Amino acid sequence: MHFHRPIRLWLSALLLVCTAAASAQIVNIEKKRIPTATPGWFGSVEFNFAGSKTTKSTLSIYAGGTLEYKAPNEKDFWLFDTRYNVISGDNEKFSNTGYGYLLYNRKLGPDSPFKWEIFSMLQYNDLTKVAARANAGTGIRIKLTPESYKNAKFYFGTAYLFEYEELTEPHDYTNEQRLSSYFTFTLTPEENVSFISTTYVQPLLTKPSDYRFSNETTLSLGITKKLVLNTTFSYNFDKVPPAGVPNSTYYFLNGLEINF
């Protein structure tokens, strides 16, 4: 089905706002960590659904889940996160994105601020012409605030990242090695209020001028102990994106999260 140019432009603008975290080049896993010191299994699920029918029929689905495990030895930590987003109308898909992310870290000593991390991700994204992206990396995470700080936490991390990427248009693939560094902080002025901001920078090791930059900031308000309202703004920049993809993208999202 063919659309007039004004409708295409309107849909393109709508997709940039609605596709949420699954459309980002860099996945912010920091906001997925569930803040608790208690060992055991924890998780959360998210689901957003929208549909309409006027002269056109549209459907938007955004779903995701997080599962984490904190070992009783207070050293080992596992986290798995997955997201899926699709926007379609009249049997045509305008957006189809998703990812799965696995993280493990281990504390290096009982009182040490250092943790060793290893992670891996699978991702696809029609909007940025990524048919498949697989990466894996390892590095160090440093806690910059002492344990006595309960309402403010600051972290810095840096890691080696190997990445395989396959594009849909033009059909091509690349193998790259990057340095992946991040700075993140969490502020909790009240028990039911949190403010999380994370910034990533990922330059190529062989060409530092070819880099990716990402910032994601989320304000969370607890409605009940299990139900949370999240407001998120994210900005992403890729110095050398695939042909036809803009250097910078951003989104703004409001949504509900259920914790268990």
Q: What is the pLDDT of residues 97-148, one digit of tens each?
A: 899 999 999 999 888 899 999 999 999 888 778 889 999 999 999 999 987 7
Q: Is the pTM of this model over 0.85?
A: no
Q: What is the pLDDT of residues 228-242, one digit of tens each?
A: 898 999 899 999 887
More confidently predicted of 117 and 30: 117
Q: Please compute Rg for the chain using Cα positions.
A: 19
More confidently predicted of 237 and 168: 237
Instruction: List the domain range (segments joined by +) for residue 145.
Output: 5-259
Measure Cα distances from 186 to 15, 32, 141, 143 in Å: 29, 12, 15, 12
CATH of the domain at 18: 2.40.160.40
Among the ranges given (120-124, 153-157, 220-224, 255-259), the one the predictor scored with the smallest mean pLDDT: 255-259
* Number of domains the chain contains: 1
